[in-house]
A and B are shown apart, each in its own frame.
Chain A
Amino acid sequence: MNLRPDPTFHASPKLAMQAPVENYAFTVMLSPDGSQSDGIAVVDVNPKSDKYGQIVHQVIVPNKGDEFHHFGWNACSSSLSPLTGHAFLERRYLIVPGIRSSRIYVIDVKEPLKAKIHKIIEPEEVFEKTGYSRPHTIHCGPEGIYVSTLGGGGEDGTDGPPGIFIMDCETFEIIGRYEMDRGKQDKHYDFWWNLPQDYMVSSEWGLPPQFENGIVAEDLLSNKYGHSIHFWDLRARKNIQTIDLGENHQMALEIRPAHDPTKSYGFCGVVVDTTNLQGAIFTWWRDDDGKWQAKKTITIDPRPEKAENLPPLLQGFEAVPPLVTDIDLSLDDKYLYVACWGLGEMHQYDVSDPMNPKLAGKVEVGGIARGADHPNGKPFAYGPQMVEISRDGKRVYWTNSLYSTWDDQFYPDSEGGQMVMANVGENGGIELDKDFYIDFPKGLRSHQIRLEGGDCSTDSFCYPSV
C-alpha cells in the first residue's frame, strides 16, 4: 500500500495522454508447438536509449505448452475511482494467462529489467473455482481483476458456456464467477466497459474445438462462430441485451468503447463476412431510449488472388480476405486502428464521427500472397495483428502472430515473430519506423503488447477529459 496514488494513475484520458511516455513495452513470446517455454519480452522503446528497439530482458516461465495470448495489468486508472477505492494499488503486475494450459502467471514488472514471476495459479484451481477454462482477456474493475475465458468445463471446454471470473487484485486469489444472469451468452472472447455508466460489453469468438486445432472451415461456412455482442449491467452482473450482428458476421472479436466515460458508444471488429469475405467494424451505441444499437460503419474488401498463390484453405475463394483480427482506439477517441491480418495492412480510421469513419492512413507489411517487406528491407511474417497505441497517440506498435494453429493455416510457409512501430502524422496518416524492428528469438512468435504506464486497450477512466 502506498501513501500516494501510483504515478501511472491517470484520472482522465486527457491526463493519460499528457503523462510521461512509455520507456518499455512488454510483449508476449509464445512457442507455437510447445517445444519451448513461453515468456514475456521486455522491449526498450525509449529512442534515447542505447538499446532502443531491443529485447532487454525476458521472463521465461517454467512450464511448456501454456500458449500465451492476451494479458493485462493488475490495476489501471480506474483504481483512482473513489468508488472502487483501490487508489493506492500499484500498476505493477502483469496477469498472463495461458489459453492452452489455463495456467495463469502473475509477473512483477516494478523493475522492468528485473521482471520476475510473482505467483503461478495452476489450471486445477481455475477449473475448480470457476468451472471455466482457457483464460484470455484481463481488465482491472470493480471488486478485482476480471478475466474472460474462452472455454467452459470439461476436457474440450464445452461443458457449460465460458464466461468471466474475478480475481482479488491484491492477493491474486480467484474469487469466482462474475455472471449472475448471462442471458443468451454462450461463447466468449473480449469484454470492456464504461465504469461510471456502469455497463459492460462482451463479444464472441468460438468454442475451444472451433479454434484449438485450427479454424474449422465447415463451421465458418455454416456460420457457427460467434456473431453477437452482449451488453451487461456491470455491477448487477446481468446480461441486459444481446445484439446479433447477423450470422454472416463471423467472429465478433475486439470491443473498444470510447475512452471518455461521458460517451456511450464504441466499436467491435468482425473478422469475416461469409457472404463476401469482407472485414467489418460495427459501431455500437446507446440510443435516447436507453436501448443498445449496432451498425456496420466500416467494410474492407477482399483482394482477388490466383488460387495457386493461396493457402489450401482459401484456394476455393480465389481471394484474400482482410481478416480484421484486432482493433484499437486512441485515447482521444479520434483514431481507430484496424489490423487486416490477411491483407497485410494496418488501417487508421478517423472516427471523430463514430458513425462515419474515414480512412486516414494505411501501411502495407506482410500479407497473404503478398509478403510485403518492412521498409528496412527485412521480412515481416504473417500480417499486422495485435496493435497497441501509445497513450499520447503518436506511436502505434504491432506484432504479427494471430494464433499458433491459425498462423499455420493461413500462412503455411511463414515462420517468425516480429514487432514493429509506426509513427502517427500530425494530421493523421501512419508510417512505419525504419529503426524499430524486433525479430523474436528463433522458434518464438509474438502476440499482445502492453506499455509501461498503461496503454489504449487496458486503461479505464472514471473522470471525463475536460
Chain B
Amino acid sequence: MTPDITSMAALWGAVIFSGLYHGINPGMGWPLAVSAALMERRHAAMPKALAMLAFGHFLAMIAILLPFSLMIFLVDWQIEIRVGAGLLVIAMGIYLVINRKHPKFLARVHPARLALWSFLAAMAHGAGLMLVPIFLGLCAVGADETGHLAAQALMGDNVVTAFAVALAHTLAMTIAGGIIAVVIYVWLGLKFLSRTWFNLDLVWALSLIAVGTFGITSAIAGH
C-alpha cells in the first residue's frame, strides 16, 4: 500500500500547490481585494473581498469537478474518462495559447460583484479544469484502497473528495492571494502593484497542457 499513500500525498500536495499557484496569479483576483479595501477606505473590506473571491472560485471548482465525480462510477471506463479529461484540459491549454486575447466580457461585470467575477474568471481561464486530472487521480487511488465498493458508495466517496479538493484548493488560493494583497495594501503600497503584476497567461496555458499530459500518462501507467 505504500506507493498508494505516497501518490495520495503527492496528489493532495498538487491540490494545495495548484491553489497557491492560482492565488498568486493576479488574473484570479487579488488586485481586486486591494482595490476594494482602498475604495471603501476600510480594512474590513479586504477580508470581505477575499471571501467573495474565494466563494466564486470554489463554485467554479465544484462546477467542474462534480460532473466528473458523478461520471467516475463507471469504473470500467475509468481510464477512458481520465484520458478524455486529460485531452480536454490539453485542448483548453492549446486554445489559451492560440487565443491570447483577454476575455472581454469580464469587463462588463460590475466591480462590486466579486464572487460573480471570480467565478467567471476561473471558468474562462480553465482554472477548474486544471484540477480535474489531479482529482481523477485521487479518485482512482481511493477506489483501489476501498476495493470493490458498490458503485453508489464509490460515487458518494468521489463527491466528498470533489468538495474536499475544491475546498483545500480554494483555501490555498485565498491564503496565497490574501498574503500578497495584504502585503501590498499594508506595507508596499500601490506602486508595487504594477511591479508585481506579471503576465502569466502563457505560463498558465502551458500549465494546463502539462497537467493534462500528466493526467493521461498517469491514467495509462497506473493501470
Contacts and interface: CB of A to CB of B under 8 A. Distances in A.
Interface in B183-205: 189-191, 193-195, 197-199, 201
Given A87-B26, A142-B108, A143-B107, A9 B194 contact: yes
Secondary structure at the A interface, as helix, strand, loop or mixed, is loop
B194 A85 contact: no
Contacts of A262: 38-39, 41
Given A15-B191, A85-B103, A143 B108 contact: yes
B199 A3 contact: yes
B197 A84 contact: no
Nearest to A235: B108
A461 B59 CA distance: 30
A416 interface: no
A1 B38 contact: no
A243 interface: no
A463 interface: yes
Given A1-B201, A3-B199, A198-B110, A82 B32 contact: yes
B102 interface: yes
A4 B102 CA distance: 15
Interface string A1-19: 1111100011110010000
Q: What interface size band does chain B fall in?
A: 20 to 34
Given A1-B199, A3-B199, A463-B34, A235 B190 contact: no
Contacts of A144: 104
Interface residues of A, number: 34
Contact of A83 (B34, B100, B109, B199): B109
Contacts of B195: 4
B197 A195 contact: no
A48 to B, nearest CB: 25
Contacts of B107: 83-85, 142-143, 235
A196 interface: yes
B207 interface: no
A83 B194 contact: no
B190 A85 contact: no
B93 to A, nearest CB: 17
Contact of B190 (A2, A143, A463): A463
B29 interface: yes
Given A11-B190, A15-B190, A196 B35 contact: yes
Contacts of A466: 38, 189-190
Contacts of A1: 100, 199, 201
B101 interface: yes
A144 B201 CA distance: 19
Contacts of A88: 199, 201
B38 A464 contact: yes
Contacts of A198: 110-112
Interface string A71-90: 00000000011111111100
A170 interface: yes
A80 B194 contact: yes
Interface of A: 1-5, 9-12, 15, 80-88, 142-144, 170, 195-198, 235, 261-262, 462-464, 466
9 contacts: A2-B199, A3-B198, A9-B194, A80-B194, A81-B111, A83-B117, A87-B199, A143-B105, A143-B107
